[in-house]
């Protein structure tokens, strides 16, 4: 299973700015653990961001989103789309099969 975590700002970019350092640490921690395999800002950046997560069930993915300093501060929220991968490009097969 893969999970697409969509982060949506609830206010302005100025509202999230004080929490960016904590959010970056949160991303780095989950990337280092192998749970996050891709992350980045949306285009336009003012909307929020997106994360592709693997190796956890949906309940764990939801719990992980509650740890985000943006969420804890009430300046952003996540939606989660869970994907039961049926096909993947060969370059991604190892990531998907380990999910």
Q: What is the pLDDT of residues 4-45, one digit of tens each?
A: 999 999 999 899 999 999 999 999 999 999 999 999 999 988
CB atoms within 10 A of CB 6: 16
Of the candidates 80, 55, 52, which has an alpha carbon nearest to the alpha carbon of residue 66?
80
Say how far apart CA 24 and CA 70 lie, in whole Å.
Answer: 10
pLDDT tens-digit map of 68-80? 999 999 999 999 9
Report cis status (omega within 30 of 0) of the bond before 44. yes
Say how far apart CA 37 and CA 19 lie, in whole Å.
Answer: 22
- Residue given tokens 């891709």 in the structure block: 38
């Amino acid at each position: 299973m893969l999970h697409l975590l969509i982060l949506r700002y609830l206010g302005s970019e100025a509202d999230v700015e004080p929490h960016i350092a904590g959010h970056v640490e949160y991303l780095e921690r989950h990337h280092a653990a192998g749970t996050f395999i891709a992350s980045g800002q949306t285009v336009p950046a003012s909307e929020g961001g997106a994360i592709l997560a693997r190796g956890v069930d949906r309940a764990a993915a939801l719990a992980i989103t509650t740890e985000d300093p943006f969420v804890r501060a009430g300046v952003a929220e996540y939606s989660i789309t869970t994907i039961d991968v049926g096909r993947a490009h060969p370059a991604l097969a190892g990531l998907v099969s380990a999910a």
